[in-house]
């Protein structure tokens, strides 16, 4: 990577953390220059606007999360085992969060739903790909006779994402990981309850 590209990546990575804590509206250019150690002109050299940087930071953050899933899913063939692994990724967020400010999809969804179509579209896409990851395993589990035939991919995807995202919100609000812990335990039980 050349120097310019390195600087660009550095700005994106630090900005992702700042946006995750302060939100899009709450993040000022000053917050970004403080976090990156790069002056305003230097940032605008690489990104045309705060919005352009926010979008790249969002993609960077969701890619980091996607990589966690790739790692835990590697080598697991059984859909049931894969579903439990997907849920249990959230344990790792307690001690080793991807970003300081919690889940970027959750934060962006809440902040942008009524106000910011470009970011909302990004959050929708990221959430949909997570729903599809879960739904696919549910379908495969039913097809392979591992899960009860009435297991509905859409319902399971909704319940898992709603419960875990809601629990991240609670753990952040109270600064206490017990909420994520309880939600992951409960979701792992829920997934196992779908087994034939």
Backbone phi, psi, residue 110, to 5°: -65, -45
Longest dimension (CA), the chain: 60
Written as six digits, the tokens of 23 are 């939100």
- Asked if 179 is part of the footprint of its own copies (rule: CB under 8 A), the reply reads yes
Is residue 61 within 8 A of residue 99, CB to CB? The reply is yes
**Selected range binding its own copies among 1-9, 86-94, 141-149, 160-168, rule: CB under 8 A:** 160-168
Does 184 participate in binding its own copies (rule CB under 8 A)? no
Q: How many CB atoms lie within 10 A of CB 117?
A: 10
Rg (CA), the chain: 18
* Identity of the residue, 63 or 155, whose beta carbon is nearer to its own copies in the bound complex: 155
Which range of residues in 3-11, 44-52, 132-140, 162-170 is near its own copies by CB under 8 A? 162-170
| 117 binds its own copies per the rule CB under 8 A | no
Structure tokens, 109? 């969804």
Of residues 42-71, which lie at the interface with its own copies (CB under 8 A)? Answer: none
Closest CA to 93 of 167, 186, 159: 167
- Token pair for residue 1? 């990577």
Piece of 45-53, 79-87, 137-145, 168-176 that binds its own copies (CB under 8 A): 168-176
Out of 135, 163, 191, 194, point to the residue binding its own copies (CB under 8 A).
163
- Enumerate binding residues for its own copies (CB under 8 A): 20-26, 100-102, 106-107, 109-111, 113-115, 120, 123-124, 127, 154-155, 158-159, 161-167, 169-170, 172-174, 178-179, 182-183, 186
């Amino acid at each position: 990577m050349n120097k310019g590209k390195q600087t660009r990546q550095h700005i994106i990575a630090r900005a992702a953390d700042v946006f995750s804590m302060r939100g899009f509206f709450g993040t000022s250019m000053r917050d970004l220059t403080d976090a990156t150690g790069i002056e305003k002109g230097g940032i605008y050299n690489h990104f045309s606007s705060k919005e352009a940087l926010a979008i790249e930071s969002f993609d960077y953050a969701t890619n980091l999360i996607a990589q966690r899933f790739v790692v835990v899913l590697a080598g697991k063939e059984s859909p049931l085992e894969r579903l439990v692994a997907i849920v249990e990724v959230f344990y790792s967020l307690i001690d080793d969060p991807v970003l300081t400010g919690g889940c970027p999809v959750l934060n962006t969804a809440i902040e942008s739903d009524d106000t910011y179509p470009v970011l909302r579209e990004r959050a929708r896409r990221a959430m949909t790909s997570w729903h599809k990851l879960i739904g696919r395993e549910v379908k495969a589990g039913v097809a392979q006779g591992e899960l009860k035939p009435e297991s509905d991919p859409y319902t399971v995807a909704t319940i898992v994402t709603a419960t875990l995202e809601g629990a991240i919100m609670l753990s952040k609000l109270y600064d206490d990981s017990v909420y994520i812990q309880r939600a992951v335990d409960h979701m792992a039980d829920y997934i196992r309850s779908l087994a034939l």
